[in-house]
Structure 1
């Protein structure tokens, strides 16, 4: 398996950017919103990068692919919570546009990363 640090992966950097932008937005919410949607959306957004990192750290193509698929699921969960937050007037259209731009870049990057994992000859697995 490749020895590239997960922090160098573009897909990981995008996941960090999304999580940090969400954190900035929700950090200003009122207590009720913070105790409901805030916790869910921050956890799901943070989970994207955490699963990319864990996949790389597991040391095999099979585990890496599995965890990146979990990261993709966390991205979809994050999109759900963003929709709920916008519908409940917790996010501005400007914030949504920022998140959408990142997600529109991140989602295909995740899919490409999933498809690229294990494309090396199997005899290189360790």
Structure 2
């Protein structure tokens, strides 16, 4: 049976944010307890929120609902930029890891805005 509809796992922003959330999980789970329970938990919640809100928005029926969740995802990206910076400054991650995370977080807002634009243009309701 041929699928003509866009699937969640075809959305680039979702795939990137999902993989990034697993990277952050692996990193923070190895931190000492103080770092893990202060920055680590917040970083994981924020990074998981990116793909989770994209998925929830994707599953909504109405255009306005979809876009609302896409914007929540955008806000989580900005929050993660802060947690990434704090992790670097507090020497919880090295510069190479910081740069890898930053480069993905830097691309995600553009991709989320493309998804919002696509949703606005393609959906009637």
TM-score by length of 1: 0.89
Runs of 4+ in 1 over 6 A off after TM superposition: none
Range with bigger deviation, 17-26 or 63-72: 17-26
Per the TM alignment, residue 3 of structure 1 is displaced from its structure 2 partner at its CA by 4.1
Q: Which runs of 5+ in 2 are unaligned?
A: none
1:26 aligns with 2:28: yes
Deviates more, 1:27-36 or 1:97-106: 97-106
Where structure 1 has 5 or more consecutive residues not aligned to the other structure, the ranges are none
CA distance in structure 2 between the aligned counterparts of 1:111 and 1:102, rounded to whole angstroms? 15
Question: What pairs with 1:84-103 in structure 2 (closer than 5 Å)?
Answer: 84-103=86-105
1:41 is matched with 43
Change beyond 3 A, Cα 1:34–1:58: same
CA distance in 1, matches of 2:123, 2:116: 16
| Superposed displacement of residue 32, structure 1 | 0.3
The CA RMSD measured in Å over matched residues stands at 1.5
Question: Normalising to structure 2: TM-score of the pair?
Answer: 0.90
Q: How many residues align?
A: 122
Greater Cα offset, 76-85 or 39-48 = 76-85
Task: Please list, as runs of the form range in 1=range in 2, the aligned pairs for 1:1-126 lying within 5 A after superposition.
Answer: 3-120=5-122, 122=124, 125=125
Shift of 1:4: 2.0
Higher relative contact order (CA 8 A, sep 6+): 1
